[in-house]
Structure 1
Amino acid sequence: MMLIRKLSPDETPPWELLVLADPSRMIVEGYIKSSCIYVGEISGVIMAVYVVKETSKIVVEIMNVAVHEDYQGKGLGKQLISHAINEASNQGYAQLEIGTGNSSIHQLKLYQQCGFRIVGVDFDYFTRSYDEPIYENGLLCQDMIRLCYTFEN
């Protein structure tokens, strides 16, 4: 069983997980300063993380979500996304957004299974924003696929 909790300001962020989802520590450092970090613990050890940032009064975005490699494929990612949806709903947001790479096949499937809809593509985002090319699932990660979960009010 995974316990999900908000990371307190005096705790060190789980960098090994954060850079698993986003290889640029510099980019991660840029958004975590104004974000909330939630961690998933199993037996008191952090095995998963997600980061959310308010982008407007009614919209919050998942900026980063990662599960330790040894625990991937066991439903922890779905637990994190479900937690993020519930938190955003409880806090009164109208939408929860997330972006992922065109090559992130498993993530695209997961987000849609959780109720997110594709709302756009930021063409060449990853080739524009990262110094080194990113390859995943045998594909060059070039474009950011934007997805949105809309709450019924």
Structure 2
Amino acid sequence: MEIRLLKDGDDLPLDLLLEADPSEEFVRKYCGRGCVYEALVGDSLIGVYVLLPLSGTAVEIKNIAVAEDVRGRGYGKKLILHALSEAKRLGFANVEIGTGNSSVNQLMLYQKCGFRIDSIDRDFFTRNYPEPIIENGIECRDMIRLVYTF
């Protein structure tokens, strides 16, 4: 797997980004302010993540997605570890990530990678998204915020 930083002018892998965040408006906005990394196996795009600086010491993994047909093969963990390595290389002390209360697999993965639950933004998704988001048979309402500290 090769992971590379997209350059200005490169097309955003919107199909994959929208799997992790259903709002194209939000995705375009934070991609424009952050760094977008894509993962390739051969010529196939299999993953993406966005690093968005929050301050001089903190950065957020704002979006992370793995193509559905290759999930369960460890690519998500490799993307997280790459994002942590990039954040450290860029001089950040903390990496934040948020996910929905219904995203049980993501919550498990992030904690296995060393993230700790930091806070809960109650009703984040119901406040910010017009359509209900259902995942794993659970309505996604609350944002679970996690932090990794170097």
Q: TM-score range by the shorter chain?
A: over 0.9
Q: TM-score, normalised by structure 2?
A: 0.98
Q: Does 1:78 align with 2:77?
A: yes
Q: Distance in 2 between matches of 1:144 and 1:74?
A: 26
Q: Distance in 1 between matches of 2:142 and 2:3?
A: 30
Aligned to 1:32: 31
Q: Distance in 2 between matches of 1:78 and 1:110?
A: 7
Q: Distance in 1 between matches of 2:91 and 2:25?
A: 31
Q: Does 1:6 align with 2:5?
A: yes
Q: Distance in 1 between matches of 2:6 and 2:45?
A: 10
SS in 1 for 2:36: strand
Aligned to 1:125: 124
SS in 2 for 1:33: helix
Q: CA deviation at 1:122?
A: 0.3
Aligned to 2:62: 63
Q: CA deviation at 1:20?
A: 0.4
Q: Distance in 2 between matches of 1:8 and 1:54?
A: 17
Cα deviation 1:68-122 (Å, max 9, x = unaligned): 0001111000000000000111111110000000000000000000000000000
Instruction: Flag as ranges the 4+ runs of structure 1 deviating above 6 A.
Output: none
Please tell me the residue identity of whatever aligns with 1:112: Q
Aligned to 2:133: 134
Q: TM-score, normalised by structure 1?
A: 0.97
Q: Distance in 2 between matches of 1:48 and 1:142?
A: 25
Q: CA deviation at 1:64?
A: 0.2
Q: CA deviation at 1:47?
A: 1.2
SS in 1 for 2:33: coil
SS in 2 for 1:9: coil
Q: CA deviation at 1:43?
A: 0.7
